[in-house]
Amino acid sequence: MKKYILLFLSVVYSLSLYAQRGRDTVNFYVFGIRLIMDFSSFGQYYVFYRPRKTDVLEYANSLSQRDFILQAMGRQSSPANLKKENFFLKYGVCPEIYSLPKKRRSSYCYEKVRDILSNLWRLRYSEYPYLIKDPTFNPKGWAGKEYRPSYAQMSILHREFNMDTLSYLIVGENVFLLIRALGDKSWVEAYKNAAQQGH
């Protein structure tokens, strides 16, 4: 009898380990942004495939800025947003939409995020990184160096958004925390002030 009890317990234990391994190896997808120049715009947008409980990332799909915004709003199907949540609302990027008429909310959030992302290049550059023909158009970035942030600014990006300092990559919820910060004037001022620190 004791033999059968031990056999039963060993089977139950093995099944529990199998179930645990199954949970550990569930795969999922996350959004990502790289602070790097593209052919037509600044910033590269991705959906990454990542095995659960690992730091390994694999490229699943590159996105246009438009598709990134729509997928993160839940307006377009995405493996990184199966529940079709509005991540910009969830992470406080556009909470004021509730004061608007329902028909205006979606377009307002889209336009606000698009405008915020138009400043993404300023995090990495002190001068506008694209060739421009109009000499009167000379916007300035917030970075401490011409082609990169100061060490103090890099520290902010790594500490607050877990940015990889070699690839300039930010993934998961940190993508939306960064976008929220870019729309926060006090955060932007603090980032600008760090430009002269720790060159």
Q: What pLDDT score does 128 carry?
A: 85
Q: What pLDDT score does 115 carry?
A: 95
* Domain around 171: 65-196
d(CA 57, CA 123): 24
| Backbone phi and psi for residue 35, each to the nearest 5 degrees, phi listed first | -85, 80
Instruction: Indicate whether 41 belongs to any domain.
Output: no
Instruction: Indicate whether 112 belongs to any domain.
Output: yes
Helix residue ranges, H only, the chain: 2-24, 65-73, 87-90, 102-117, 151-161, 173-182, 185-193
Q: If we measure between CA atoms, which residue out of 135, 125, 114 comes closest to residue 179?
A: 114
Q: If we measure between CA atoms, which residue out of 176, 156, 71 comes closest to residue 116?
A: 176
Instruction: Indicate whether 59 belongs to any domain.
Output: no
How many CB atoms lie under 10 A from the CB of residue 81?
Answer: 21
Instruction: Indicate whether 153 belongs to any domain.
Output: yes
Instruction: Indicate whether 29 belongs to any domain.
Output: no
Q: What pLDDT score does 138 carry?
A: 74
Instruction: Indicate whether 118 belongs to any domain.
Output: yes
Instruction: Indicate whether 17 belongs to any domain.
Output: no
Structure tokens at 12: 């139950």
Q: What pLDDT score does 37 carry?
A: 78
pTM for the full predicted model:
0.81
Q: Crossing angle for the helix pair 173-182 and 102-117, nearest 10 degrees?
A: 90
Number of domains in the chain: 1
Q: What pLDDT score does 133 carry?
A: 65
Instruction: Indicate whether 38 belongs to any domain.
Output: no
Q: What is the pLDDT along the chain (199 residues), one digit of tens a residue?
A: 544 343 333 333 332 322 323 333 345 899 999 998 776 667 889 998 877 666 678 777 899 999 999 999 999 999 999 999 999 999 999 999 989 998 899 999 999 999 999 999 999 999 888 777 666 777 899 999 988 999 999 999 999 999 998 889 999 999 999 999 999 999 999 999 999 876 6
DSSP assignment of 95-139: GGGGGS-HHHHHHHHHHHHHHHHTTGGGGT-SB--S--S-TT---
